[in-house]
Amino acid sequence: LQVHAGEVFGLVGVQGSGREALCRALFGALPIDTGRVTLDGRALELDSPVEAVRSGIAYLPAERRSEGLLAGMSVTENLTIAHPAEVTTGHLLDPRKEDALARTWIERLRIKTPSPAAQVQTLSGGTQQKVVLARWMVAPSTRLMILDHPTRGLDVGAKSDVYAIIRELAAAGLAVLLMADTLEETIALADRILVMKDGRSVGLLEAPMGAKPSQVEIVELMV
């Protein structure tokens, strides 16, 4: 399969279809046994999440509280921790850069928090999800955003906000790989949809879209 810059590419299938394993492998969280992943023609060695982040791949996990958030840390720390180059001067953390970056994204995504220093676990579920999304949006190096059930457990208003962010990501030229909560949600958001069963692709549904340059190519990936 190929995921293009500026598109939302949906993955659908029942539990155990392999789509979750595919996404976690692309983030270096599961080992890849065979196959090849390229980004803009460059082969990637995805042997860890650190390497995936360095390659421009971001991942929003389905289990927000246990895998996405750093409980006990502030909104600012959760926003900036994955990309230290954006908030350091030399080899030292620059509190002014850190605070400015956090405030920029709090305003941009309308994150409802009493202050950037607020503990992230005290915020609502929708607000926490915005914090996790912003963590990956702060870095200009992010090229592929993998979203694993990004609206799970959110109320209607928060879901609407996340939908708007997903469309913003694609409009900004990112490739978005989406596993949504429902088929209806996938159809509403995705430009193309891949159907998976037993770890294999069994169908590709395409919506009308303009030609876009290939950004991420996955060839016979086995995990």
Q: Give dist(CA 76, CA 116) in Å, integer.
A: 5
pLDDT at 223: 44
pLDDT at 170: 92
**pLDDT per residue as tens digits for the range 154-207:** 889 889 999 999 999 999 899 999 999 888 999 999 999 999 999 888 999 886
What are the angstrom distances between the C-alpha of 219 and each of 36, 196, 201, 206? 5, 15, 11, 19
What is the rounded (10 degree) CA torsion for 163, 165, 168, 169?
A: -110
pLDDT at 16: 81
Write out the H or E segment, with its range, that includes residue 79. helix 75-80
pLDDT at 65: 81
pLDDT at 212: 53
Strand 8-12, strand 175-179: pairing: parallel
Global pTM reads: 0.87
Q: In the chain, which residues have pLDDT < 70?
A: 207-223
